[in-house]
């Protein structure tokens, strides 16, 4: 996950500033996804966050840094999905596996 070290720039991106590159786009998209989840891991809320990620493909700001052909967008959305899974969903699944036992094939 790209990290933006400039705290002022992070604030700007969180408030909706146009990203200047793919790293800033990834940061902004991840921020939006995590803000949408907060502490609510309900199915409906996770689906809403996935819609935010899908909407990224249609965002007109992509033309600002050459992403109109999606060669920038696809990896960014994939990266954000993986980070969301790693930080939010995987720990939940680990907890449930401990509570209920692992899948037996």
Tens digits of residue pLDDT in 32-66:
777 766 666 677 777 777 777 677 666 655 555 55
Packing angle, helices 73-84 and 43-55, rounded to 10? 160
DSSP state of 69: T
Residue 39, SS3?
Answer: coil
DSSP state of 62: G
Alpha helices in the chain (DSSP H): 7-14, 22-37, 43-55, 73-84, 90-100
Q: Is the pTM of this model over 0.95?
A: no
Packing angle, helices 22-37 and 7-14, rounded to 10? 60
Phi, psi angle pair for 66, to nearest 5°: 75, 20
* Mean predicted confidence (pLDDT) in 14-41: 77
Query: Domain map of the chain by residue range?
Result: 7-94
């Amino acid at each position: 996950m790209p990290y933006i070290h400039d705290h002022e720039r992070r604030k700007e991106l969180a408030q909706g500033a146009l990203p200047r590159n793919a790293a800033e786009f990834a940061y902004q998209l991840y921020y939006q996804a995590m803000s949408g989840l907060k502490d609510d891991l309900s199915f409906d809320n996770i689906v809403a966050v996935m819609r935010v990620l899908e909407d990224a493909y249609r965002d007109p700001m992509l033309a600002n840094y050459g992403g109109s052909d999606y060669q920038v967008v696809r990896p960014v959305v994939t990266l954000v999905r993986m980070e969301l899974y790693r930080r939010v969903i995987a720990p939940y699944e680990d907890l449930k596996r401990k509570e209920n036992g692992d899948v037996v094939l």
